[in-house]
Amino acid sequence: MNTALAWDNVVAYSLQIGLLVGLASLIPALLRLRLPKARLAYWHLLLAACLVLPQTRPWKRAIVTVTTPAVAPVAAEAPSAPVRLPAAGTHWTPGEIGLLVLAAGALARLGWLMVGFWKLRRYRRHSTPWRGPAVVLGTRPEYRISGDIGSPVTFGLRSPVVLLPRNFEEMPPAMQEAVLCHEALHVERHDWAFTVAEELVRAVFWFHPAIWWLLGEIQLAREQAVDREVVERTQARDEYVDALLAVAGARMQPDLLPAPLFLRKRHLKQRVIAVVRETRMSRTRLISTLTAGLVLLAAACWFVTAAFPLAAEPQMVVDGAGISVELNGAQLLHRTPVRYPAEAAAKRVEGTVAAQVRLDADGAVMDASILSGPDELRKAVLEAVLSWHFAKDSAGATRTVTVSFQLPAAAQAPAASHEISPQFRADLAAQGAEAAVAALTGSGQERAASAVAGLNPSHIVSIDVRGLSDQARGDLLAALPVHVGDACSFDAVARITAAARAFDKHLRVTWQTHNGETTLIVTVSPDAASPAPLEGGSARIQVGGNVEAALLIYGPKPAYPDLAKKARISGVVSLHVFISKEGTVQGISVIPPAHPLLAPAAVEAVRQWRYKPTLLNGQPVEVETTVDVSFSLADQPTDPPDSPPGQVGQPGPSPLGLRVEHSGPDLLLTWNLDSYVAKNGQQGVLQVFDGDSHQSYEIGRQLLASGPGLVYSPLTKDVSFQMSVTDGKGVEIGNGSLRVLRPPMGSR
């Protein structure tokens, strides 16, 4: 849950508590609930209701539908001067500031509570035993005299202690007996445990006046209940009132101790009145009054949670323009978007399509059929719903969903999806862009991390799961073998990827690294379905990599890419391999994470491998297996010493053609605007490593294709630029790096 949503929920929860306490405070007066024990039980129930309000009803989950209208792009005016990169800074949102303030206040209040415990311990050590008569009701407490307190205090569970003030020794015996009976009742009722729990609640909700008021009412009702029982046991009403007045007239310490005090001055009037005016209720009336109070309290809880509902993280769905989806009450873990068919949009076909889906035991759609709707729109709905995944409570059921198609005014047919042409792949390979070729090799392969992210040591600071419900997110995080704080490596991400796919075949894992800190991102991929079966539709079996390796009869080793050797990159590339009945490799997909400089060589080598046919019941079958291809620098001949690092004006080794020139005290970074990457890239990310500083900047399409460059003011004498360009699908199509030594030093 993001901080903005968390802050909104804190505000809504606070309003729920305030409204609930406000309404519930009227109920005792309405029902004439005056018996102290009954009022204490009611206030405790109200406090418990405040704590469980978030679980009273399901959180409101919005389904955010982001439409993608098909409109012609508007040409923007190209910037005429180089764009200066802004200095990195930390920006706090109001939600983050509010949450930090609440957390700091709670920690401060807990610290205050610890100080109170320390004071109780110090008072006990500096006290002396009470030698007079004692009152014992159940567990025998230790009575001691302390000059540091002005009112009797009781604390402890297994070894309870009662501290008495100095003036206690001057009281008449009847008053002493009343005070000792009061404290002995606190011990018998274990009131110190309740007091500590209430103080912990106060620490968490230190900012909420309704909680403070409620805890004050609980303290008053507790003392009034004990007062009533003391009078009933001692039959010394007058002496007890005199004891209250005597303690009130003594020097009182600030009310800071986490323990039941004999008297708080603000409660004196109410306690004396309750002792003098004895209140009685019949058992029948007491039960009926409490029952009515509970019913009204439950109704108030339902009302306040409806008035200020808490919000779960919304489900983000990107549909085409003019499309709305109705799930008829069902909950989704995720779903693929529904697109408006170009042919239907061109013919101005509109309407509503009803589809019936049958779910498997996990909630995934295993079969679907169209019940009604225009023929031109049926295929788009059917293709979309087959990749939907419903919540667990719908598993094994049959659901009906409806999709409405409505063309907006002056709508245009959706543009054709961008596909990477074979010619583009060949152009990249010819320019040495092995990272881009790796990102495009093999069906179903995801975009891998950059070479820099793979080389720099890092640790996992967060795992961001997107597109799943809160419950599914929690189940997935519990199933992952790697957690926050662990070291990040290709092996760690590979294990997370395997666990995510075992949890849901539609999940994919990517990551981002910044200053040695890695964020893992688990997202739902609509194209993550299992590969289609091999030609012929025959059965395919899955075989472990070690078992199938024993049948390998021809397996040439991959050629170590030159760029990978120069960058000192090594590792293992895992491939998902499909083998025909004859033992030839028919299909390969790369299992992320795979280093973009190593994956193409691994794919090219494994594509030539040959196996003995795998037999099942004496018949050859197709095989699906995993192959690990290792790249080790120790097995390679020693390369000549690396060339000196790039200097000012030297182009980077990429189709981007990065260059740096002096611009006064600053550096001007430019690239080859005529390159295919610059002309066809949709977004670029520039990382600047300046000494110990690491900053990232996003480069828009317009600046990438026709911009005059970027100006950077160096902080140190060693600056490195690393730039990555992606297409409209987020696939990297080019990158470049450049290091500048001893640049002119400027000032920001």
Distance of CA 377 to the CA centre of its chain: 37
The number of domains in the chain is: 5
Report the first-to-last Cα separation within the chain, whole angstroms. 36
What is the residue-wise DSSP string for 369-395?
A: EEEES-HHHHHHHHHHHTT-EE-GGGT
178 belongs to a structural domain: yes
Residue 745 is predicted with a pLDDT of 52
Q: Which amino acid is at 178?
A: A
Nearest to 227 by CA among 281, 198, 191, 173: 191
Contact by Cβ (8 Å): 237, 275? yes
Cα 200 to Cα 108, 205, 302, 517: the distances in Å are 12, 9, 26, 35
User: Does a structural domain hold residue 570?
Assistant: yes
- Indicate whether 564 and 439 sit together in one domain: yes
Q: What angle do CA 560, 564, 570 make, to 5 degrees?
A: 80
Residues 362 and 425 in one domain: no
Query: Which pLDDT value is given to residue 587?
Result: 85
Judgement on whether residues 435 and 399 belong to the same structural domain of the protein: no
Tokens describing residue 20: 């609930």
Helix (H), strand (E), coil (C) string for 537-587: CCCEEECCHHHHHCCEEECCCCCCCHHHHHCCCCEEEEEEEEECCCCEEEE
Tell me what pLDDT residue 464 has: 80
In a domain, 577, yes or no: yes
Are 703 and 727 spatial neighbours (Cβ–Cβ below 8 Å)? no
Other beta carbons within 10 angstroms of residue 468's beta carbon come to 25
Phi, psi values for residue 196, rounded to 5° = -65, -45
Task: Identify the pLDDT of residue 453.
Answer: 33
Q: Are residues 552 and 497 in the same domain?
A: no
Of 736, 734, 700, 732, whose CA–CA distance to 721 is shortest? 736
Contact call for residues 576 and 520 (beta carbons, < 8 A)? no
For 488-493, which contacts have Cβ atoms below 8 Å and span 24 or more sequence positions?
Answer: 488/458, 488/459, 488/460, 488/513, 488/518, 488/520, 490/454, 490/571, 490/572, 490/593, 490/594, 490/595, 491/572, 492/460, 493/520, 493/592, 493/593
Q: How far apart are CA 359 and CA 344, in angstroms?
A: 29
Task: Looking at the structure, tell me whether residues 510 and 626 fall in a common domain.
Answer: no
**C-alpha of 536 from chain center:** 45
In a domain, 647, yes or no: no
Residues 550 and 532: their CA atoms lie apart, in Å, by 26
Statement to judge: residues 336 and 428 lie in one domain: no
Instruction: Classify residue 449 by its DSSP letter.
Output: P
Q: How many CB atoms within 10 Å of residue 632? A: 10
Q: Does the residue 91 lie in any domain? A: no
Joined together, the tokens standing for residue 431 give: 């320019």
Phi, psi of 649 (to 5 degrees): 90, -10
Whether the Cβ atoms of residue 685 and residue 512 lie closer than 8 Å to each other: no
Claim to verify: residue 617 and residue 702 sit in the same structural domain: no
Range list of β-strands (E), 691-731: 693-699, 710-712, 718-726
- Is residue 721 within 8 A of residue 660, CB to CB? The reply is yes
Domain boundary among 501, 524, 547: 524
Which value, in Å, is the radius of gyration of the alpha carbons in the chain? 36
Q: Mean pLDDT of successive 10-residue segments in the chain (748 residues)?
A: 81 94 91 88 94 85 51 42 54 83 94 90 90 75 87 87 87 85 88 91 94 92 88 83 75 59 67 78 86 92 90 66 81 78 87 92 86 91 84 82 80 38 42 35 34 46 75 79 73 74 74 66 54 44 65 85 78 86 86 77 89 79 85 61 39 60 77 74 80 74 75 81 76 75 53
Report if residue 8 sits inside a domain.
no
Per-residue buried b or exposed e for 162-201, using 16+ beta carbons within 10 Å of the residue's own CB:
bbbbeebeebeeebbbbbbbbbbbbbbbebbebbbebbeb
Q: Cβ atoms within 10 A of the Cβ of 2, count?
A: 12
Contact 733, 684 (CB under 8 A): no
Co-location of 520 and 535 in the same domain: no
CATH code, domain carrying 364: 3.30.2420.10
The per-residue pLDDT for 597 is 78
Instruction: State how beta strands 683-690 and 693-699 pair.
Output: antiparallel
Nearest to 512 by CA among 268, 318, 696, 257: 696
Classify burial at 325, counting beta carbons within 10 Å of its beta carbon; exposed 0-12, middle 13-18, buried 19 or more: buried
- Same domain, yes or no: 429 and 345: no
Residue 605 lies in a domain: yes
Last residue of a domain, one of 495, 524, 553: 524
- Rounded to whole angstroms, the Cα distance separating 678 from 726 reads 10
In whole angstroms, what is the distance from residue 84 CA to residue 692 CA?
21
Strand duo 323-326 + 610-611: pairing: unpaired
Q: What is the phi/psi pair of residue 119, to 5°?
A: -65, -40
Specify the amino acid at residue 366: M
The answer to whether residue 691 is domain-embedded is yes
Structure confidence at residue 463 (pLDDT): 84
Q: Which two tokens stand for residue 13?
A: 């929860």
Residues 245 and 211 sit within 8 Å (Cβ to Cβ): no
Alpha carbons 168 and 367: distance in angstroms, whole number: 82
- Same domain assignment for residues 605 and 734: no
Do the strands 161-165 and 142-146 form a parallel or antiparallel pair, or are they unpaired? parallel
Residue 592 vs residues 15, 476, 496, 599: alpha-carbon distances, Å? 46, 18, 10, 10
pLDDT of residue 421: 42
C-alpha–C-alpha distance, residues 189 and 379, integer Å = 70
Which residues, including other chains, have CB under 8 Å from residue 347's CB and lie 6 or more apart? 376
**Which residues, 6 or more positions from 143, have their beta carbon under 8 angstroms from its beta carbon?**
129, 130, 134, 162, 164, 180
3 state DSSP class of 35: coil
Beta bridge partners of 404: 324, 352
One domain for residues 260 and 185: yes
What is the CATH number for 687? 2.60.40
SS3 content of the chain, % helix, strand, coil (to 5): 40, 25, 35
Peptide bond before 86: cis, by omega within 30 degrees of 0? no
Q: What residues make up the domain containing 244?
A: 108-280
Give the residue from 255, 280, 305 where a domain finishes: 280
Distance CA 566, CA 634 (A): 13
**Which residues are within 8 A (CB) of 579 and not within 5 positions of it... i.e. 6 or more apart?**
548, 585, 586, 611, 614, 622, 623, 624, 625
**252 plus 368 within the same structural domain:** no
Farthest-apart Cα atoms in the chain, separation: 106
